[in-house]
Amino acid sequence: MTAPAPRPGIMDIRPYVGGESAIEGVSRIVKLSSNEGALGPSPKAMEALKALAPEIHRYPDGGAEALRQAIGARYGINPDRIVCGAGSDELLGILCRAYAGPGDEVLYSAHGFLMYAIAAKACGATPVTAPEVDLTANVDNLLKAVTPKTKILFLANPNNPTGTYLPSSEVARLRAGLRPDILLVIDAAYAEFVSRNDYTSGNELVEAGDNTVVCRTFSKMFALGGLRLGWAYGPENVVGVLNRVRNPFNVGSAALAAGLAAFQDTEYAELCKRHNDYWLPWLSEQVSALGLTVVPSVGNFILIRFPKDAGKDAATADAFLRSRGIIVRAMGAYGLGDSLRITIGTGEENQMVVDALREFLKK
């Protein structure tokens, strides 16, 4: 008997493997592998979660009304043009399913977020990458890689895992150079961390036409990765599509309640931002001073490149850090086998990383 077979291409997908959270035999773990908020969630989000417990037999508000209103008011954008998702991953996946299929191409830069390849292949489309310059998305190369089959262009800005970003003028040049029937998806998962005058998350491009959408997440600055909550801001036509294709109750009530409380706790969000503003340059400088190459980052993580010499390479460094209970992310899946990505942690954790790397390099 023949077993049921999935659509062609599905078995080519390499399943996404998240950052580990345990090492056998090690009790104290420092987990810096998934770009989670260093200080944990807002206490108000935790209270909201507890208060919700007696109500979890109720379905959530499928329209995420209160959260969309709050987001709209904060950014001065129309709440009717916001859609919430079970993490921004869900929204990226839905956009692929709705706008691309077999025979179509989904374009992104060489070291773009892994989910883009998964989402493209899952809907039968072909992922296509464009070369970067200095590990940064390059507008000319992206435009050159466009073909008549291109349906979606994903731009992570800032990008994970490189931490690099494009200024808003470059993103505008990208939009202007694309055919209007290509959907530009700006994935601004790390937008809240960026402290650069020439950066915007891209809302102005959403407003300028009907072919650009911005995706955001509660997993990073708001430190709610475990609840799965993201949102997209798009033109009416794209929002209409997302609302047709998403599941009716795609975001659970726990995510909605904690997300709203976290979003409204601006004092805590500012604390998290200040923490990152201090420790991102600190960790970058300390690691550079050890003689390693740090890719300039505007997110809550840094990409460190290691020499190829046996014993000093990224894989050996990874194993050494693990022996000290520190879990970071090896970048082989991104074709960056010489690199490790390290999330900004608490002050103590950051110091532990620097001490461990110093010890490793001295060996």
Q: Which is nearer to ligand PMP, 60 or 230 (CB)?
A: 230
Q: Which is nearer to ligand PMP, 220 or 324 (CB)?
A: 220
Under the rule (CB under 6 A), what is the footprint of ligand PMP?
35, 87-89, 113, 156, 160, 187, 189, 217, 219, 225, 230
To ligand PMP, the closest distance from the beta carbon of 309 in angstroms equals 30
d(CA 141, CA 132): 7
d(CA 213, CA 184): 6
Q: Which is nearer to ligand PMP, 113 or 306 (CB)?
A: 113
**DSSP letter assigned to residue 134:** T
To ligand PMP, the closest distance from the beta carbon of 25 in angstroms equals 28
d(CA 363, CA 359): 6
Helix, strand, or coil here: 285?
helix
Contact 152, 106 (CB under 8 A): yes
To ligand PMP, the closest distance from the beta carbon of 351 in angstroms equals 25
The residue with its CB nearest to ligand PMP is 87
Contacts 24+ apart (CB under 8 A), 294-297: 295/135, 295/162, 295/163, 295/164, 296/163, 296/164, 297/158, 297/162, 297/163, 297/164
List residues bridging with 304 in a β-sheet.
294, 340
d(CA 200, CA 191): 8
Q: Which is nearer to ligand PMP, 342 or 356 (CB)?
A: 342
Q: Which is nearer to ligand PMP, 158 or 286 (CB)?
A: 158
Pairing of strands 212-217, 183-187: parallel
Candidates 305, 300, 306, 307; CA nearest to 282 is 300
To ligand PMP, the closest distance from the beta carbon of 361 in angstroms equals 28
Radius of gyration of the chain (CA): 21
Q: Which is nearer to ligand PMP, 189 or 280 (CB)?
A: 189
To ligand PMP, the closest distance from the beta carbon of 16 in angstroms equals 9
To ligand PMP, the closest distance from the beta carbon of 18 in angstroms equals 8
To ligand PMP, the closest distance from the beta carbon of 217 in angstroms equals 3
Q: What are phi and psi of 285, to 5 degrees?
A: -70, -45
In the block, which residue shows the tokens 């003028």?
169
Q: Which is nearer to ligand PMP, 142 or 357 (CB)?
A: 142
